[in-house]
Amino acid sequence: MMSSHLKRWITALVVLPLLALLIGKGGRTSFALVVGLVAALGLLEYYALVLSRGMMAMKAAGLVLCLVLLASFYTDGLRVIPALLVVAFFGSAMICLTRFDPQTSVPEMLYKQITGVIYVPFLLGHLILIRDWNQGVTWTFLLVAVIIAGDTAAYYVGRAFGRHKLAPSISPGKTLEGAVGGLAGNLLVGALFKKYCFPEYGWGFWIALMIVMGVLGQTGDLVESMLKRSAGQKDSGRIVPGHGGLLDRIDALLFAAPTLYYFKTLLD
């Protein structure tokens, strides 16, 4: 039987060229459509972790809102997003009113449904905004490359040198040494992009950006691990051979994409 590690590499060798083609040549609309598909599937994985199987109305409402949010990122940027989130809360509250059961924790159900909408489609939607920047394709490649480099470096440095647990109650396999190795990977790839693609930025700004992206990317990884552990699951799904679910692959990206967007927008 093929090992999980080999499956990871085979999947990566198949997916990464397709991802590069999508980012570089796919066009704005096709990129947004793929982001929307990934967000929808990721949201369904999240709901499978935190909501019971009987809450189909809550899941369906969340999925519809997910697609509306991504369409809004594509057409209007952030201008109407706050209004959509308010409408989402009102709609979810009304669904809860019609399905209230004294034996069910309605506030918890409502919280989990709305949190999922923010956690997956709202955070991931910032990818669409980043790709619309001047040099947006290069910025998108930077974001993806930095996160992949950090994940890969953290994994192999942790396996080779990991001795001190980073968060044993959440993810027993992650170590402080691996986290440091991940940040080193973030900085190395980021430095290459800065030298060859973004020489106009100062090193202080750039190093700070890479560190913040790296730290919050690892935080996103831990948050998703926490969700899986609370649900008693090893992976969020099985859609990606050798890697688990989509959430397992985009957990760091969910936190890193808005980090890049707001860091550059507010401080550049």
> What is the DSSP secondary-structure string of 193-248?
HHHHT-TTS-HHHHHHHHHHHHHHHHHHHHHHHHHHHHHT-SSS-SSBTTTBSHHH
Answer with the residue of higher pLDDT: 93 or 258: 258
What is the domain partition of the chain in residue ranges? 4-267
**Distance between CA 94 and CA 6 in Å, rounded?**
48
pLDDT over threshold 90, residue 62:
no
**Distance between CA 100 and CA 254 in Å, rounded?**
32
Residue 172: its H or E element? strand 171-175
183-199 mean pLDDT: 97
Q: Confirm if 206 and 146 have CB atoms less than 8 A apart.
A: no
**Among the ranges given (57-66, 118-127, 202-211), the one the predictor scored with the smallest mean pLDDT:** 57-66
How buried is residue 192: exposed, middle or buried, by Cβ count under 10 Å (0-12/13-18/19+)?
middle
pLDDT in tens, 38-52: 999 999 999 999 887
Single pTM value for the model: 0.92
**Among the ranges given (69-73, 94-98, 169-173, 208-212), the one the predictor scored with the smallest mean pLDDT:** 94-98
Greatest CA separation found in the chain?
61
Answer with the residue of higher pLDDT: 243 or 126: 126
pLDDT over threshold 70, residue 1:
no
- The tokens describing 106, both together, are 């309605």
pLDDT in tens, 22-43: 999 999 999 999 999 999 999 9
